[in-house]
Structure 1
């Protein structure tokens, strides 16, 4: 019996030890152990100092840590604002004349007379260059005389036929001789014209290296003509914008050769063929040139407006979160629905200790301005408040946060913005966007600094 009793007692002791170890793992056991150790340490300290036994209970250290862990995170926020924006594509173009001609003589010969001045306007049909035509003119005079003789003989033959003095065959023979004489005269006239160079249209004469007495050969360029009243601009755009191009679109031009000069052209033609090597599409625009200040061959910086938005939504660049799912924003709203109230500065807002909740919004990015980026889509509106700092504390929906206003500088108002790498064909967003909910105060006007007092008046949905 004694061995059995010892085994039973041993099992009971082992069970109680396991039960005690399990209980010490629980919070109640840990708290009791901490208090016990605290009392013992305090007693030992009191005895070491020679004083009486003083018991001092230590407060649980886990309470403050637990409270701080459950406190809302502090983040910085800024307001989404509205600005007019334009989608612009840029390219480099080359000016060319609407009409240009390289004049070449149709026959070789010696220059007898020059009837133009270099760099001066010429009129259509004006004689510009006369080659030596004495031999050809003599041939023409001979042919003209033969024509007059044949015409007179044919007239007499018709009278004689009417009187019956000659046969009908003789009349037909005289008519054939008249036609031959007419053809010879026309041939001589054409040979004369080949020695004359005339302006085919109104233009400006270029520089010519030809003088009276020079011998020019057939097909040799002797003069360039350029029509400067209207110029053409040839440029190329990437194929990704082909669907947004149309004849009649306005094109803004700037010129390296004429700083400060800006002109507007109109798209006149679009090449139906895309360059398979460069993946580009050729366009041609019509550019009026009053005063003939612009010249063919000049380079031009081309800007073509693809789309205009009267009220685009912009947020600070720091507000954009990027991951494998794409860009997103964290929008904040009061945890409990409450209307803003007047604050110390007289603006509408919320008390500093107001708790907000987060909402993660997937977005599509558009244009970029210095420090700001456009957000497209229907999720975000002008006046919404987004997180700009503290993403490591709050990066998903449903988190409790407190806010502190950042003070980003307002974006400038340029003629256009830089396309974002994330931007793509998307429907127009933010058109006429307004602050959601009851309007309490307008969003800051363009150019107004985004200060804390200005942002407190933003109403919430």
Structure 2
């Protein structure tokens, strides 16, 4: 209304001035004299405005300042590390170390289950393992002894068999021709000796009958005959043996010895083959030891699982069990959260997502902490939008040194898409004409200069002028509706400074 009133006053003044000038010219004639008289009358007319009255305006100087283009976002505080702890074994809860808000360290036992039955299972598994090891040691020892004895016994029995077979062959086969010849010569020799001894005995027997020799001498020759006869019989027997081989009794004895030797060899070989069975027994005993070791490891692990430990450094966010309750695998008993890993999970409309990228600064405010500002940075932009809201999720990392931020808090932020120092002018100075954004600048001699702006970043109260206005130039923020390019203006005192201060 004020701009319209000033413009109307200026138009009326100009119209009155023009009427007075025309009247003076008509009555006073032309030339300089008429103009001087008319001018004198106009000037002398009470309440008449000047012919070129200036338009009163207010101005503010364009300034250089930091400008930002931001994308407003909302969302919730979340945590990267949020863990639901559940037992791996069924058992009664005997202790819970903490309640909601209690800080825990990684590896700390936070829930303890009853371990009496589990300790008994460990002791039983360890006893079974010791028994399996004892059986393995016994099997190994037996296998080693059997292997050494069997190999030596087979070789020994085979040697005895060879000897028995050689004796049997010797008993069965006749002597060699040379041996037979020697035996025949022995018979002939003993035959000659016998015949000589018999002739000597007969001669001395006749001499004894004739009384020519003593009986004692005859007795000696009788003995010599008998010895020669025995020697002849022995030589004949050796000749028979050489010609016909051993006696049947000797052959049967040798055959029995061979049979016994062969049986002994077979028994030794059977014992040697039993070594494979003993080796398999050793293998089975070793498998039993391995199974026992696995059982001990499993039992010990089950005992360790009864002590539920925290996998992270954090705090207890929810206690879901109490001592005395029965816990089952898969049923959560505690919920932990690492407050050092909290982040702002912001939702960005699909129309603004192209302006958001990793690394951008994000001032964040949380409703639960009024007056506090947290500065985060875009860490990740999820590649897909929600089908329901068409918003994209953006992860903003926020330092949480004081552990003030908690998962689930509602938060608001502004992603700083652009930030730079530029020349700004108040939005009150803007005019929109023919699709262009323009301002009036108070130029030299208080003349209005109409400028066309190229607008950059826009804020609530000001815009960035990329071109058209320089820092320090005075732009009209009030009264510009009555101005024309090149028109005179007068700057009102007082308001401009206040407006400039507000713009800054």
Shorter-normalised TM-score: what interval? 0.5 to 0.7
Specify the alignment match of 1:134 in structure 2: 116
Specify the alignment match of 2:438 in structure 1: 328
Q: 2:423 aligns with which of 313, 326, 349?
A: 313
**Residue 277 of structure 2 corresponds to residue 295 of structure 1:** no
Structure with greater Cα Rg: 2
**Residue 173 of structure 2 corresponds to residue 173 of structure 1:** no
1:301-380 aligned at under 5 Å gives the runs 301-310=412-421, 312-323=422-433, 325-331=435-441, 333-334=443-444, 350=445, 356=447, 358-364=449-455, 366-369=457-460, 372-380=461-469
- Alpha-carbon displacement from aligned partner over 1:50-83 (angstroms, at most 9, x marks no partner): xxxxxxxxx99xx99xxx9995763625232332
Q: Give secondary structure in 1 for the equivalent of 2:371.
A: coil
Q: Partners of 2:346 and 2:304 in 1: how far apart?
A: 40
Q: Which has the higher strand share?
A: 1
Specify the alignment match of 1:82 in structure 2: 64
Specify the alignment match of 2:296 in structure 1: 185
Instruction: Note the C-alpha offset of 1:388.
Output: 3.5
Instruction: Note the C-alpha offset of 1:136.
Output: 3.6
Q: Partners of 2:370 and 2:70 in 1: how far apart?
A: 21
Instruction: Note the C-alpha offset of 1:401.
Output: 0.7
Q: Partners of 1:87 and 1:393 in 2: how far apart?
A: 33
Specify the alignment match of 2:76 in structure 1: 94
TM-score normalised by structure 1 residue count: 0.61
Q: Partners of 1:214 and 1:285 in 2: how far apart?
A: 40
Q: 1:381 aligns with which of 460, 470, 478?
A: 470
1:44-443 aligned at under 5 Å gives the runs 71=52, 74=55, 76=57, 78=59, 79-116=61-98, 118-163=100-145, 164=147, 166=275, 167-275=278-386, 277-310=388-421, 312-323=422-433, 325-331=435-441, 333-334=443-444, 350=445, 356=447, 358-364=449-455, 366-369=457-460, 372-394=461-483, 399-406=485-492, 407-408=495-496, 409-411=498-500
Point out which structure has higher relative CO (alpha carbons under 8 A, 6+ apart): 2
TM-score normalised by structure 2 residue count: 0.57
Q: Which has the higher helix share?
A: 2
Residue range with higher mean Cα deviation, 143-152 or 74-83: 74-83
Number of aligned residue pairs: give it.
333
Specify the alignment match of 2:11 in structure 1: none
C-alpha contact 1:361 1:379 (8 A) present in aligned 2: yes
Mark the CA change 1:152 to 1:69 in structure 2 (over 3 Å): closer, same or farther: farther
**What RMSD, in angstroms, separates the aligned Cα atoms of the two structures?**
3.6
